[in-house]
Amino acid sequence: MINSGYVLCFFLLSFFALKAQSVVESPDGKLMVSVAVNNGMPTYSVSYNAKAFLEKSPLGLKTNVGDFTSGLLLGANVIQNKIDETYELANIKQSKVHYVANEAVFSFTKDGKAAIDVIFRVSNNNVGFKYKIHPQKEARSCVVQEEASGFSLPEGTTTFLCPQSKSMVGFARTMPSYETSYTLDAPMGKNGNGDGYTFPCLFKVNNNGWVLISETGVDSGYCGSRLMGQEKGLYTIGFPMAGENNGNGTTVPGIPLMGETPWRTITIGETLAPIVETTIPFDLVKPKYEASQKYNYTKGSWSWIMKMDSNTTFRFKNNTLILVLLWDMKPF
């Protein structure tokens, strides 16, 4: 006869083990990411100091070799790593950066075969995640048709966003050139001027704090993305518009298998200080190459000096010409 107490203890231990495997925290324990599968659909949520900053949000990819947004199972074994790195960059907010984070690799299967991994890196105030796509049958490359990655903000959140412009308009048909006006403290539920928003995207989560959403690690192997406004506080990743790049080429990326996507980044702060001070765009990437020598900036020029519009003025200081560009910007 099996003791009921032992059975209860076994199930409790199993429950807590499963819960521990689906959660990754920041080194200081304040920022928490929870990953789950609901009816075959992978999701994640983010909290800071036990307050919800991102509610249950979708994960996954649709490709020409498989739909990895549904029918998925989360593997029991979650690989966890400690990240402790230092690097130096002379031209960012901090010249010397000590990056400490906890990494977790969540592996999903579909129809009994490896499908995708979702790799999360969680540092103090910052979350980064990206996908790794496994080979499917005989295919050794794929086209990513859609990225389901979403960011579901709590009700009452307001937005500080730059609407994406139409493509192939503006000066010399160079838009989208990320120069449209930000809308400040606006309600959710819109999609810019119909074409989403340009990164980075800032949100104020009621009185709890701030969320900054962006991307990093984009190179020639993938495409730059935008943020698409949906209903009920959900924002999703959008690929370029068909008219960009003079309509030349595809707007969806093709990658080798096994292959990885760029990082999606989330910075969270109870004040704006972590938003302003974050180095997450540089923390998650590695240099492509080392410079052959040290480069020191000397003199430079600005092509708009030839335009001579009303926003260009000239000043002299110590017999040195200083070009001043005045922009019509409104403070937050």
> What integer pLDDT is reported at residue 306 of this predicted model?
61
Please check the confidence at residue 300 and state whether its pLDDT lies above 90: no
The mean of the pLDDT values for the chain is: 87
pLDDT one-digit tens code per residue, 80-95: 999 999 999 988 999 9
DSSP 8-state code for residue 167: T
Residues of the chain with pLDDT > 70, as a percent, come to 84
> What integer pLDDT is reported at residue 314 of this predicted model?
59
pLDDT one-digit tens code per residue, 145-202: 999 999 999 999 999 999 999 998 887 888 888 788 888 999 999 999 999 999 999 9
What lies within 8 Å, CB to CB, of 302 at 6+ separation is: 323, 325
Contact by Cβ (8 Å): 72, 151: no
pLDDT one-digit tens code per residue, 102-123: 999 999 999 999 999 999 999 9
Mean predicted confidence (pLDDT) in 61-69: 97
Low-confidence winner among 46-60, 66-80, 168-182, 214-228 (lowest mean pLDDT): 168-182
Return the bridge partners of 24, or none. Answer: 33
> What integer pLDDT is reported at residue 83 of this predicted model?
98
Of residues 287 and 144, which shows the higher confidence score?
Answer: 144
Mean predicted confidence (pLDDT) in 226-231: 96
Please check the confidence at residue 310 and state whether its pLDDT lies above 80: no
pTM confidence score: 0.85
Mean predicted confidence (pLDDT) in 29-41: 96
The C-alpha atoms of residue 233 and residue 151 are separated, in whole angstroms, by: 8
> What integer pLDDT is reported at residue 19 of this predicted model?
40
The C-alpha atoms of residue 282 and residue 263 are separated, in whole angstroms, by: 11
Mean predicted confidence (pLDDT) in 251-260: 95
Length of the chain: 332
Question: Left (φ > 0), alpha (ψ -120 to 50) or beta: where does 208 sit?
Answer: alpha
The C-alpha atoms of residue 195 and residue 214 are separated, in whole angstroms, by: 17
> What integer pLDDT is reported at residue 12 of this predicted model?
42
> What integer pLDDT is reported at residue 136 of this predicted model?
95
> What integer pLDDT is reported at residue 16 of this predicted model?
38
Query: pLDDT grade, residue 138 (50/70/90)?
Result: very high
CA-closest candidate to residue 163, choices 216, 205, 199: 199
> What integer pLDDT is reported at residue 246 of this predicted model?
83
Kindly list the distances between the CA atom of residue 187 and the CA atoms of 47, 50, 174, 205, in Å, as whole numbers in the listed order: 21, 24, 29, 11
Query: pLDDT grade, residue 313 (50/70/90)?
Result: low
> What integer pLDDT is reported at residue 91 of this predicted model?
84
> What integer pLDDT is reported at residue 326 of this predicted model?
47
> What integer pLDDT is reported at residue 10 of this predicted model?
39
